[in-house]
């Protein structure tokens, strides 16, 4: 009887061990879930969204794996990101914190804000003001915004919002170094991104984690924790479940 209990315990440990190994492999090489904690990507991504990120899209670096082990440098099976991709990356300031932003500049590109408009390689990024009114958050504030449908050189379209008051109008010209990328948040005046060289700045290709593909679950945290099932009728955003990201 004692031997049988030991055998059962060993089998359970083996099962848990192999399950963990499989989970790590899937998380590292294929898909990893992420939680959206901030409003920097509104209206594309909302606080409380949970997304799946494809880890294989741009190849693999040490940051593809838990705790970023220094097992190799650069990237394996590297593929170039595209304008407008929603990319999760490790912030250059600590190589640990995960950010998600939209890719605006490739290596060698020049980006500049002039009178509130974005110029990419001296060409204005096309944008069209849209009538849809978005309720945008920025910390504890809900600023009034103008929303635009922006179109990048490869035809990628997305919605970006700018504060009606206090929006960033002019910047220096940013020149993206070789092997690096330039990112912006869709909530342009509530995003720490590549415009802020001391905190984010240009992002190395090695720091890319993956490409956001789908929202698989969404809960409005202002309406209560997802654990409070009695509030689900108010907190769950069912229309965002299994929503493909562009």
H-helix or E-strand containing 6? helix 2-29
Which residue shows structure tokens 């965002």? 240
CB under 8 Å to 28, separation ≥6 — which residues?
A: 55, 60, 64, 65, 66
Paired sense of beta strands 49-54 and 31-35, if any: antiparallel
Residue 40 known to be catalytic: yes
Name the nearest CA neighbour of 105 among 194, 168, 169.
194
Residue 225 known to be catalytic: no
Is residue 61 helix, strand or coil? coil
Degrees (nearest 5) of the Cα angle 164, 45, 244? 130
The one catalytic residue in 39, 40, 64, 194 is: 40
Is residue 27 helix, strand or coil? helix
CB under 8 Å to 22, separation ≥6 — which residues?
A: none
The one catalytic residue in 62, 90, 101, 218 is: 101
Return the active site residues: 40, 101
């Amino acid at each position: 009887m004692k031997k049988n209990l030991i055998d059962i315990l060993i089998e359970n440990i083996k099962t848990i061990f192999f399950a963990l190994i499989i989970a790590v492999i899937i998380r590292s090489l294929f898909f990893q879930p992420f939680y959206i904690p901030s409003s920097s990507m509104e209206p594309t991504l909302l606080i409380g969204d949970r997304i799946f990120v494809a880890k294989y899209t741009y190849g693999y670096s040490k940051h593809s794996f838990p705790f970023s082990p220094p097992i190799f440098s650069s990237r394996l099976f590297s593929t170039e990101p595209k304008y407008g991709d929603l990319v999760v990356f490790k912030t250059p300031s600590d190589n640990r914190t995960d950010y998600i932003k939209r890719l605006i500049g490739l290596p060698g590109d020049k980006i500049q804000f002039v009178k509130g408009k974005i110029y990419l390689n001296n060409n204005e990024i096309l944008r069209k003001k849209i009538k849809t009114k978005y309720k945008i958050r920025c910390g504890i504030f809900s600023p009034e915004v103008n929303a635009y449908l922006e179109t990048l050189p490869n035809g990628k379209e997305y919605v970006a919002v700018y504060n009606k008051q206090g929006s960033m109008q002019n910047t220096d010209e940013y020149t993206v170094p070789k092997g690096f990328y330039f990112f912006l948040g869709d909530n342009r005046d509530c995003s720490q991104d590549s415009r802020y060289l001391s905190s984010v700045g240009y992002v190395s290709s090695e720091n890319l984690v993956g490409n956001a593909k789908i929202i698989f679950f969404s809960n409005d945290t202002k309406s209560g924790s997802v654990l409070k099932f009695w509030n689900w009728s108010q907190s769950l955003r069912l229309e965002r479940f299994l929503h493909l990201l562009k």
